[in-house]
A = this chain, B = another copy of it.
């Protein structure tokens, strides 16, 4: 049976949520462990995760390689893969890519809305494309086997990363802008380039990325997935819910404003609607993960295609993406 994989969550982790992952049959999750944190702060977040792993070994464990998805399925637990939404965790030090990879970081966004040392975010007026350091870091991520994630990046930077990366990249949590023209959603041009390079798109359930916001129906969401299959090919599609289950609104403030502004930044929200938007009624949390599969089946999608979108495609992609070039080198030396 294909695994079920969620390619992006940033929940307020708890035993309740880990149990709901089991309820929803979520075999693997890419979890955000850091936004604007520097390296030492990111390590503190890893330490907090190590305590979760120690407390709930029957529910979750840390994923390092793609084989841990199989292990999760065999043992009825959820494999947790670490990711960074912003490269502040590597500071200005390319050596931290390998160090964080060793600690389990398997995804890193090159930007989070703003300009970073590596590339431009989707909220910047000017998009530099990959910077000098950005090009170096892309090569280093390629080498160690860390997925380049451009979910929050600008158009030019994203196209640049697709072109420069020697391995397929991912947009773990976004939807097509042609369906819902949010700044965070992606143009058909980007989606086509992503698909042609063997990359993956994870569909987001975050209301600001949905046509109709919190009121978006399951049918509308699943129809959007089917349309995107026409554009990108079904094998390039997965889920990346962007679920921020049980997070207080103070967390969305940190996500948006970090330490880069003294003013309040509303990101995808607004002064009228500054907090986390309510999730659609058909996706309230991890226990609802199977709802998406039901919605796809209800559209008449073939079972094999549903399984591919629900996680089979991510599993195939990650089996390649997580394999370090270094391992190959080490094997060659034997």
Known: A103-B102, A104-B102. A93 touches B47 (CB 8 A): yes
Contact string against B for A residues 78-115, beta-carbon threshold 8 Å, 1 for contact and 0 otherwise: 00000000000000010110110011100000000000
Q: Which of B58, B96, B330 contacts A43 (CB 8 A)?
A: B96
* Chain multiplicity (copies): 2
The main secondary structure of chain A at its interface with chain B is: helix
Distance in angstroms between the alpha carbons of A326 and B71 in the assembled complex: 16
Interface size class of A (residues with CB under 8 A): 20 to 34
| Interchain CB contact under 8 A, A39 and B43 | yes
| Interchain CB contact under 8 A, A57 and B333 | yes
Distance in angstroms between the alpha carbons of A44 and B93 in the assembled complex: 9
Contacts of A71 in B (CB 8 A): 334
For the complex formed, measure the closest distance between the CB of A68 and the CB atoms of chain B, giving whole angstroms: 11
| Interchain CB contact under 8 A, A46 and B99 | yes
List which A156-191 residues lie within 8 A (CB) of chain B: none
| Interchain CB contact under 8 A, B334 and A50 | no
Distance in angstroms between the alpha carbons of A102 and B104 in the assembled complex: 9
| Interchain CB contact under 8 A, B329 and A57 | yes
List which A296-334 residues lie within 8 A (CB) of chain B: 326, 329-330, 333-334
Contacts of A104 in B (CB 8 A): 102
CB-defined A-B contacts under 8 Å, sample of 23 = A39-B40, A39-B43, A40-B40, A43-B99, A44-B93, A44-B95, A46-B99, A47-B93, A47-B95, A47-B96, A51-B95, A54-B326, A57-B329, A57-B333, A61-B330, A61-B333, A75-B333, A75-B334, A77-B333, A99-B103, A102-B102, A102-B103, A102-B104
